[in-house]
Amino acid sequence: MAVNYNVEKIGANLRASIAVIPGWFPGLSHVEIVQQIAAYGFDAFESLGARDWEDRAEVGACCRDLGIRVGAVSGSGSINADGPVNPEFHDTFEKEIRETIPKARALGATAICGVVGADRDDMSKEQQMDNIVAAGKRVAPILEDAGMTLVWEPLNIKVNHAGYFLVYSKDAADIVRRTDSASVKILFDVYHQQISEGDVIRNIQEYTAEIGHYHFADNPGRHEPSTGELNYKAIFRAIHETGYKGVISAELGKTMETEQILRILAECGSW
């Protein structure tokens, strides 16, 4: 399969930088996926696992040539196992963040996703919060020197990730404020936060200063915008009105043909 350059530039009028998912373009190499995304008029992609792509330097060069932005990449921690909630994990956390930075730089990514680990029954919530703050403070100077941002991700425990520690925007914002570094922020996943707390637009507005990256999918189902209850035209507009200039990344299960998804994203992001 080859890149099709004779496609409609569906994303040409986007007002938001919406990152599509590389898996929507099967049969193409990673570099060709970037070329295909550009052909459709979109300006970003995200794959958390791109950190470990063997051709990440070539992908990064292609992105620079075509003006394609790269969303977040995985950094360190886990959802259901150990993570920065435990101080004994902090050496590993620093090591993995240090290892991720040059890989992210090769791609052109500046956001590194951190997950905090499973809620522990041998520590209080306050202790675990303190431990996450300590982990962030430990790597903040490293990130600042590299021009990178660690984004802690709250996840829902009602549907997808039972047992995870960090769930609510308020707690994530408290961690970020106490860390007191421009290189440590929140990854606000609209899908997860709709399930956990609702009030999505109000929370986006309230925690603007603490948010460093966005993920999105509709709810229920974690599928494309228009398949559920969320008004993504209003949400993308609200994000834009906060002054956020970064990437807003799709993280969803595909139920439609790729061009249909791209048209939905273009409509939602072109208010």
| Mean pLDDT along residues 100-129 | 98
Is 4 within a domain?
Answer: no
Which two tokens mark 263? 């048209």
Could you tell me the pLDDT band of residue 53, with boundaries at 50, 70 and 90? very high
Is 141 within a domain?
Answer: yes
Residue of 265 and 271 predicted with greater confidence: 265
241 labelled catalytic = no
| Mean pLDDT along residues 147-170 | 98
Is 3 within a domain?
Answer: no
- Could you give the number of structural domains in the chain? 1
Choosing from 8, 94, 153, 197, the catalytic residue is: 153
| Mean pLDDT along residues 213-223 | 98
Name the packing angle between helices 56-66 and 30-39 (round to 10°): 20
Mean pLDDT over the full length of the chain: 98
Is 26 within a domain?
Answer: yes
Is 233 within a domain?
Answer: yes
At 1 the pLDDT is 80
Question: Strand 17-19 relative to strand 247-250: parallel, antiparallel, unpaired?
Answer: parallel
Domain assignment of residue 199, given as a range: 17-268
88 labelled catalytic = no
Is 11 within a domain?
Answer: no
Choosing from 251, 257, 259, 267, the catalytic residue is: 251
| Mean pLDDT along residues 55-75 | 98
* CATH of residue 60: 3.20.20.150
Q: Is the peptide bond before 220 cis (omega within 30 degrees of 0)?
A: yes
At 136 the pLDDT is 99
| Mean pLDDT along residues 223-252 | 98
- pLDDT of 271 > 90? The answer is no
Q: pLDDT tens-digit profile of 167-215?
A: 999 999 999 999 999 999 999 999 999 999 999 999 999 999 999 999 9
CA proximity to 17, closest of 51, 68, 61, 64: 68
Is 12 within a domain?
Answer: no
Distance from C-alpha of 129 to C-alpha of 138, rounded to nearest angstrom: 14
Residue 68 — φ and ψ, nearest 5°? Answer: -95, 130
- pLDDT of 51 > 90? The answer is yes
Is 121 within a domain?
Answer: yes
What is the full DSSP assignment across 26-68? TTS-HHHHHHHHHHTT--EE--GGGGG-TTHHHHHHHHHHHT-
At 134 the pLDDT is 99
